[in-house]
Structure formats: structure tokens, C-alpha cells
Chain A
Amino acid sequence: MIRIKNLIKDYPMGRETFRALHGVSFHIAQGRLAAIIGQSGSGKTTLLNILGGLDTPTAGEYWLDGKLVSQFDQVDWSHERNHTIGFVFQSFNLVPALSARDNVAMPLIYRRAPLKTRRRLAEEALRQVGLGDRLHHRPTQLSGGQQQRVAIARALVGNPPLILADEPTGNLDSHTGEEIIELLRHLNRQGHTVVIVTHSPEVASQCQEIFRMQDGRLVASEATG
């Protein structure tokens, strides 16, 4: 599903350049549940942004779902994000003016799906995350855990093979966080490849593969099960 080779990312910092990634390589097979773990500043967020096509690597190769995507332009990447990737963010990132259903249906707008299809698929996705009775609620009318469920429904509504989650439990209490991780594990069992970026060892311990980042380098990778 994901194969990166010698990924380097430099950021200009005044006259100097700051190297956030020092040649990272790994492979995550389709259908796996993987965690990228590391402290803040370890480069894990930079890595996730590159994996999601929100940032481009300075050097190195990135193969996603069999395509060499490291040199994609914004149009190709927009299409790729829309079809291949579902995002889950730490701060949920729902549009406050829209209902839960309209938030969930948003990725389908950019697939030019008809309105009726979008509503039907969004309602299905919301039922799948246990919010079938909250279709018309605004994000502010929902609890943090419910908002993250809406965000997960939005990530899976287009049935993308890959789900990228950036600290999905970071803004939640431990019990709610547990439920969200369980939901992501459930999606993984249904066939989605799931990659979770986290600094929490408890979350990472529930994944099949763990990639440990430190100072822009991959320092350990372990596979369980």
C-alpha cells in the first residue's frame, strides 16, 4: 500500500535549511494497521503530511497504491486524496456551519457524485460509526468523541483503501479515545489499511506494526501479528 524510499524533507529556516526527515524508508502492506510513534519534533507529522500528499518530499520516492506519487502535482494529488486516502485529524476539522451529514458527504462533492447518492452514502457511513441518529446535528451540538466519529465517517464515506489518522485520540479522554481506536481497528478488519500517528505507546501497542521516529530518522520498526 505504502512504500517510501530514502525520503528527505528540508525546510528553509532563514539562511539555513532544517532537515526534518533524513532519508526514511519503510513499507506498509495492504490491510495492515500501523502506528508511527515518536515525540514532538521527531518528524512524524512531516512524514504524515507527505504520506497524505499535503506536503512534497525534497528527495526520495513514494509509492502509494502502486503509483509513484512523489512527483504528483496538486491536481493529481487532490484526486489521489479524494479517492485513495481518508483523513482523521486530532482536532476533528469539521466545518462548523454544516450538519454532520453534509460534513461526511463533503469528499463525494469532489467526485461529482449526485446529491442523492451523497446523502445516502453519508447516512450509511454515519450509521456505521453509530451516529445514525445525529444526521442533522451541527458539530458544536456533538461531544468530542461524537465529532471524531463524524470525522471517521467522513474518512470512510468514499471507501478509500487507506486511512491516515493524525493523533486521533489527542483531544479526547482516555475512555473515548479507546472507543475511537476500537472503531479504527474495526475499519482495519473490514480491509482498510490504517496508519495512526501518535505519541501514545498504549495506542501504538494495539497496532500490528510500529515505526518509531526520532530526530527525523526511523530508529525502530517492529511487527506484531
Chain B
Amino acid sequence: MSWSDALRVAWSGMWGSKLRSLLTMLGVIIGVAAVIVLVAIGNGASQAVSSRIETLGSNLLFVTPGGGTTFTASQVAAIQHELPMTALVVPELNSGGKVSSGTTVGPAALTGTTPQYPALGGISIAYGSFLTAQNLTALQHVAVLGANQALTLFNGSNPVGEHITILGQTFRVIGVLNPVGQGPGASQDNTIFIPLPVAEFLVGSDSLSNIVVKTSSPTAASLADSLLTNLYTNQYGANAVTVASEDQVLSALSATHATFTDLLAGTAAISLLVGGIGIMNIMLVSVTERTREIGIRRALGATREDIVLQFLLESMTISLTGGLIGIALGFGLMRLSPLILKSPAVFSPDSVVLAFVFSTAVGLGFGLYPAIKASRLDPIDALRYSG
């Protein structure tokens, strides 16, 4: 039998039972579409991280105490003393708690910090102003809201001048930030910023979460990195204080996203595998149903190899057609995903190749056993078979 005839026979076999073929294909369609869409979503998330590395550069350093060491506000001055005057040193005291606007109550991330915080980059003021030096020295109970907090607490209306309750104490809202959106800064949208001394008082501790250092250039950042690492190693011993540049932090995050993408792709691949088992199931039924046809074909001159080819091509036609429909569906869903997910889905050609290769392999792998089974039928029994 020639290849073109084998294909024609396989196609008419599939076409002969349209609904069943379509249902069988559905497993592959869903699997392939899932691989493409989920990989695109995972890619979108990790690309948001890497684009942030590119736009911000790597002139930020995160100094985080650990291993029994604690930092207080006095440490800020100590770091400032170590580094050139151009460096910006900003402390953060992170906490969390219940926040209420009188009508709405919800959780909030709290950051106690200084007026220099916006100079680190990444955030901008939408309404009002950020914390001022006077807010800090006068221990004023004022707050700046992240975009999401403003939205949840005040339903989008300008909250400047309104009052909110944080951990039982009343604060006056003096500013609202613009949304940061996706990426590692997204948490700032859910944060409420208050003066550092007020935060120390509210939380009941003056131990800082970390200190952020901004230098004038990436070169200065790596210089500052080694300077501070030396300083703290001498002072507290190795590894007591972590000094990490922003790109180190972000690439760690990026690696997490890559793992996440792999996980999504793996999950999707499992659904493809299930689709393959569906193909095998249907092909076994088809072989049984067409036992007599197999007997006839053998009697008329088909070799065992011809029979294997016929059924293998039929299962591959199903899985490949399913694969192509799945790729089309995956593209469609990817286009729609911004409407549902907010995150941009980034198409990866690899995922199409992966899906295509996988669906071919599924058709081949799961079609092989039924095809061989068909070819091993005894022609005499097959001709007598009455299903």
C-alpha cells in the first residue's frame, strides 16, 4: 500500500465516525491548548521580572539583617557614613494588620519608612503627597495608600484628608500612589506607608526589616555591595547580614517564575498524556469493531505491515488534527487572556513545537499497540467475526 493510499484510508476511517473522532481529539486539543496558554502565561510573568531588571538597572542594594542581628534606625546613619554622600539609604519596617475606612475593613501590608522612599524609584504619587520630614519628627499619624488599598477602602474616590484606622489607631490619609501593576513591585499596590517612628511605636519594635541603598550607577552598587559585605562580616561574622543587589533579588524571583512555568507545562503535558490514553482506548474499540474489515483486507492482499500502517496513521491523523486545532485554540485563548488575567501572556514558539512533537508522539505511542493488535488477527477468525 502506498503512503498516500494509507493516508486516504486513515482519513476516511476517521471521517467515518466524526463525533467519536472529535471526542477522542478533544483530549489532545485541550492538552495542546493548555500547554501553549499556560507556558505563555508563565512566560509573561517571568518576562515582567526581567524587563524590570532592564529598566531599573541594578543600582539598588538590599541590606537585610538575619541570624540574631537586628537593625535600628541608627544603622541608617552608619551605612550613610560608610558610603559616598550620593548614596540614598532608606530603611523599611514591614508589618501588616487590619485597616478600616469606617465602611470597609481589610488586610493591609504596612511599611514604615522615610520621605526618601519614592526616590528609590518604581512608585509615583497620584494624589496628595508622600511622607514628609515633618511627619516623621512630629510623629504624625498620617498614611500614604497604595493604589489597591485606595480602591478597596474608598471605592476609587479621592481619599486625601479622609481618616482610616490601622491596628486601632486613627491615621489621616495624605497621599495615594499610582498603580505599579504586574511584577515584583505589585505588592506596593497593597501597602500603606506610614512614618518610620510611628510604625516603630505601632508595631512595638524598632527592629528594621531591611535597608535599601540606591547608588548612582551599577558600578557604584557593586562597590557598595563589597564595602557593606566586608563591614558586616567584620562586625557580626559571615552571613549575619545579607547584602543583595536588585538584580540578584530579581533573578532569584525570575528563577522561581521559571520553575512555575515548568510546573504549568508539566500539568498541561499530563492532560496530553490522558488524551493519548483516550486515543488508545478508541483505537482498541475501532480495531474490534473493524475486525471483519481487517480480515477482508488481509484476504485481498494486505500484509500485516499494511494493517499496522493503516491504524497507526489513523491514530496519528486524530492526534495531529487535534494538535493543530489545539494550537489554534491556544492562540485564541492567549489573545483573550489579558481580558481575564491582567497579566500579559507571552507566546513562546517552543511551546508550539513541544505541543506538536508531543501530540505526534502521543498518536504514535498510543496507536502502536492497537495497530499491532489489529495486524496480529488471524484472517480466518477475523473474516468469521460477527460483532
Contacts and interface: CB of A to CB of B under 8 A. Distances in A.
A78 B380 contact: no
A111 B306 CA distance: 11
A70 interface: no
Contacts of A98: 12
A1 interface: no
Interface in A112-165: 112, 115, 154
B298 interface: yes
Contacts of A89: 383
A110 B300 contact: yes
A141 B301 CA distance: 26
A97 B293 CA distance: 10
Of residues B16, B300, B305, which shows the largest number of chain A Cβ atoms within 10 Å of its Cβ?
B300
A78 B301 contact: yes
Nearest to B301: A82
A49 B299 contact: no
Nearest to A151: B296
Interface string A65-98: 0000000001100110111000101000111011
A203 interface: no
A74 B298 CA distance: 10
A106 B297 contact: yes
B119 interface: no
Interface in B356-379: 379
A154 B302 CA distance: 14
A106 B16 CA distance: 17
Contact of B301 (A79, A94, A97): A79
Contact of B300 (A74, A97, A115, A154): A154
Contacts of B300: 81-82, 87, 106-107, 110, 154
A96 B292 CA distance: 10
Interface string B1-26: 11001000100100010000000000
B304 interface: yes
B1 A112 contact: yes
B44 interface: no
B322 interface: no
A136 B283 CA distance: 28
A110 B302 CA distance: 6
B2 A55 contact: no
Nearest to A86: B300
Interface residues of A, number: 26
Contacts of B304: 74-75, 78
A49 to B, nearest CB: 6
Contacts of A54: 298-299, 379-380, 383
A216 interface: no
Given A95-B293, A109-B5, A109-B9, A55 B302 contact: no
A52 interface: yes
A90 to B, nearest CB: 10
Nearest to B383: A93
Nearest to A93: B296
A52 B379 CA distance: 11
A98 B302 CA distance: 17
A78 B303 contact: yes
A55 B380 contact: yes
B164 to A, nearest CB: 74
A83 B301 contact: yes
Nearest to A157: B300
Given A49-B380, A54-B380, A95 B296 contact: yes
Contacts of A75: 303-305
Interface in A137-195: 154
Contacts of B306: 78, 110
Interface string B299-322: 111111110000000000000000
18 contacts: A54-B298, A54-B379, A54-B380, A75-B303, A78-B301, A78-B306, A82-B300, A82-B301, A83-B301, A93-B292, A97-B12, A106-B296, A106-B300, A107-B300, A109-B5, A110-B300, A110-B302, A115-B5
Interface of A: 49, 52, 54-55, 74-75, 78-79, 81-83, 87, 89, 93-95, 97-98, 106-107, 109-112, 115, 154
Which 5 pairs from chain A and chain B are nearest by CB? A82-B301, A110-B301, A78-B303, A107-B300, A54-B379
